[in-house]
């Protein structure tokens, strides 16, 4: 009921007083210049001040900002919905009326407010006080002039009262750096836990930790390498890490040169010292980026593709198919969603690990023009092999 009234008010260019997850807020359509002007006038706020854009569902926010990089998206997934405003890069200058003087940055809020569940529109929002006044935690603390001037006033009872934390993620994608611009409802320790760990692959401890988390790690590697056939000469590896998979692939394919990509420069530095320099070329790049130019006889990836969401995997498979030589092969060893949920034993981190069922991945590979089959599976681990049409192909098994 309130959700429908709220949406109707915003869509009609109105200004609404509403309960957020922190304090009472004022909201309007972020793309409607008149509505934004009225919101600022009701507050007595200078229009050059930036406001965050708020969504009521995370998916809607992520869909509206497709240019966010994978690390930033994962950070949003870990922290939102929640009482935190995240300032992200805004290269497309979206929502210019919310940007204040800096269209290259955007404040993003996603809240979970039961009364507004299902609201699909984003809103430009700010707290429902006069500029510089106290943050209202109950409706009667919202200045009368604001209540009288708004087209809709929603009562959500008494609210928690601590304003959102504001966190700068504008450099997070490239360097992992972040900064608290305003302390608020989310403790710094919780922010550190959500934002620091993305870079938790520590090359010094990786080999021991992965084997502890995944008792079948070495078996998965062996099965992947076995499924890679033999006599490949040009290999592309996706997510090289410290070079565990690459070392095995080079041993199996003695005449091959390998191009390895990974987002982590630290992990690749460890790989560079473990692998024969004359046979490898390592690049810091994300799987979501353009792939190194092929053609490759073999594209291989162990325990990395599950970091992509479903549609990103489907997109990667199309680019892998395009990078393969005729008859070339793609081998994928990864964590998957098993048919029996009891078999899902690999520890996963929300927002970073997105395993998909084998059947879905086989279908995406087929859609990409490859001929795909399951080569090995145990619990929630699987090795999939997909062959490109034509050519002599690489040898067996
Ligand atoms: C679990 S390790 C696997 C490394 C190696 N293939 C192995 O099996 O030991 C995952 C690697 O994927 C990298 N990674 C995660 N997301 C990525 C992405 N979107 N693009 C490229 N590399 C990514 C991480 O930096 C990490 O080095």
Give pLDDT, residue 195.
Answer: 85
Pocket test for ligand 1, best of 289, 304, 333 (most atoms within 8 A of CB): 304
Would the CB of 239 count as within 6 Å of ligand 1?
Answer: yes
Would the CB of 331 count as within 6 Å of ligand 1?
Answer: no
Would the CB of 122 count as within 6 Å of ligand 1?
Answer: no
Which of 281, 279, 260, 299 is CA-nearest to residue 394?
299
Length of the chain, in residues? 397
Give pLDDT, residue 392.
Answer: 63
Would the CB of 264 count as within 6 Å of ligand 1?
Answer: yes
Cα 344 from Cα 339, distance rounded (Å): 9
Residue of the nearest CA to atom 26 in ligand 1?
A: 241
pTM to 2 decimal places: 0.64
Query: Of ligand 1's atoms, which has the minimum distance to the CA of residue 217?
Result: 8
Q: Which residues in the chain are classed under CATH 3.40.50.150?
A: 206-387
DSSP symbol at 90: -
75 close to 56: Cβ distance less than 8 angstroms: no
| Residues 291, 283, 386, 361, CA torsion sign | negative
Ligand 1: centre distance to CA 215 (Å): 18
Which pLDDT tens digit goes with each residue over 80-106? 999 999 999 999 999 999 988 899 999
Ligand 1: centre distance to CA 243 (Å): 10
Say if strands 296-302 and 234-238 run parallel, antiparallel, or are unpaired: parallel
Distance from CA of residue 43 to its chain's centroid? 35
Cα 50 from Cα 81, distance rounded (Å): 21
Query: Of ligand 1's atoms, which has the minimum distance to the CA of residue 287?
Result: 20
Say if strands 84-89 and 165-168 run parallel, antiparallel, or are unpaired: parallel
Would the CB of 333 count as within 6 Å of ligand 1?
Answer: no
105, containing H or E segment: strand 105-110
Ligand 1: centre distance to CA 281 (Å): 16
Query: Of ligand 1's atoms, which has the minimum distance to the CA of residue 241?
Result: 27
Residue of the nearest CA to atom 1 in ligand 1?
A: 303
Distance from CA of residue 99 to its chain's centroid? 23
194 close to 200: Cβ distance less than 8 angstroms: no
CATH architecture assignment, domain 2-199: Alpha-Beta Complex (3.90)
Give pLDDT, residue 101.
Answer: 84
CATH architecture assignment, domain 206-387: 3-Layer(aba) Sandwich (3.40)
Ligand 1: centre distance to CA 309 (Å): 14
Ligand 1: centre distance to CA 228 (Å): 19
Ligand 1: centre distance to CA 155 (Å): 47
Would the CB of 225 count as within 6 Å of ligand 1?
Answer: no
Give pLDDT, residue 152.
Answer: 97
Residue of the nearest CA to atom 20 in ligand 1?
A: 286
Would the CB of 224 count as within 6 Å of ligand 1?
Answer: no
Say if strands 105-110 and 52-55 run parallel, antiparallel, or are unpaired: parallel
Ligand 1: centre distance to CA 241 (Å): 5
Q: Which residues in the chain are classed under CATH 3.90.870.10?
A: 2-199
Cα 13 from Cα 97, distance rounded (Å): 14
Would the CB of 304 count as within 6 Å of ligand 1?
Answer: yes
| Secondary structure of residue 150 in the 3-state scheme | coil
Ligand 1: centre distance to CA 249 (Å): 16
Would the CB of 249 count as within 6 Å of ligand 1?
Answer: no
Would the CB of 303 count as within 6 Å of ligand 1?
Answer: yes
**DSSP state string for 220-236:** HHHHHHHHT-B--SEEE
- Can you give the pLDDT of all 397 residues of the chain as single tens digits? 699 999 999 999 999 999 999 999 999 999 999 999 999 999 998 888 899 999 999 999 999 999 998 889 989 998 999 999 999 999 999 999 998 889 999 999 999 998 999 999 999 999 999 998 999 999 999 999 999 999 999 999 999 999 999 999 998 887 778 889 999 999 988 888 788 755 567 888 899 989 999 999 999 999 999 999 999 999 999 999 999 999 999 999 999 999 999 988 889 999 999 999 999 999 999 898 899 998 999 999 999 999 898 889 999 999 999 999 999 999 999 999 999 999 999 988 766 788 999 999 999 999 999 999 999 999 999 999 999 998 766 666 6
**DSSP state string for 283-307:** EE--TTSPPPP--EEEEEEES-GGG
Query: Of ligand 1's atoms, which has the minimum distance to the CA of residue 220?
Result: 8
């Amino acid at each position: 009921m309130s959700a429908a009234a709220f949406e109707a008010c915003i869509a009609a260019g109105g200004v609404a007083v509403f309960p957020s997850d922190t304090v009472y807020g004022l909201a309007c359509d972020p793309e409607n210049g008149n509505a934004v002007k009225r919101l600022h006038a009701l507050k007595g706020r200078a229009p050059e001040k930036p406001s965050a854009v708020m969504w009521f569902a995370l998916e809607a926010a992520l869909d509206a900002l497709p240019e966010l990089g994978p690390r930033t998206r994962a950070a949003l997934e870990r922290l939102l919905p929640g009482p935190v405003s995240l300032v992200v890069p805004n290269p497309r200058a979206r929502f210019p009326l919310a940007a204040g003087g800096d269209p290259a940055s955007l404040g993003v809020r996603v809240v979970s407010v039961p009364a507004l569940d299902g609201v699909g529109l984003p809103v430009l929002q700010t707290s429902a006080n006069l500029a510089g006044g106290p943050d209202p935690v109950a409706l009667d603390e919202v200045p009368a002039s604001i209540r009288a001037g708004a087209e809709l006033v929603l009562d959500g009872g008494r609210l928690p009262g601590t304003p959102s934390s504001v966190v700068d993620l504008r450099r997070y994608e490239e360097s992992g750096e972040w900064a608290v611009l305003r302390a608020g409802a989310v403790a710094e320790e919780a922010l550190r836990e959500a934002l620091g760990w993305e870079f938790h692959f520590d090359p010094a401890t990786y080999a021991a930790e992965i084997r502890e988390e995944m008792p079948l790690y070495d078996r998965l590697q062996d099965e992947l390498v076995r499924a890679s056939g033999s006599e490949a000469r040009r290999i592309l590896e996706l997510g090289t890490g410290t070079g565990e998979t690459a070392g095995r692939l080079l041993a199996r394919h003695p005449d091959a040169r390998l191009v390895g990509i990974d987002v982590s420069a630290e992990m690749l530095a460890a790989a560079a010292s473990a692998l024969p320099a004359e046979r490898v070329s390592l690049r810091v790049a994300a799987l979501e980026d353009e792939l190194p130019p092929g053609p490759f006889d073999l594209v291989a990836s162990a325990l990395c593709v599950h970091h992509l969401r479903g549609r990103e995997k489907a997109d990667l498979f199309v680019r892998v198919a395009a990078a393969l030589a005729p008859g070339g092969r793609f081998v994928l060893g990864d964590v998957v969603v098993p048919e029996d949920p009891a078999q899902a034993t690999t520890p996963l981190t929300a927002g970073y690990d997105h395993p998909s069922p084998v059947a879905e991945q086989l279908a995406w590979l087929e859609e990409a023009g490859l001929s795909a089959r399951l080569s090995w599976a145990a619990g929630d681990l699987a090795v999939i092999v997909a062959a490109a049409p034509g050519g002599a192909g690489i040898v067996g098994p």
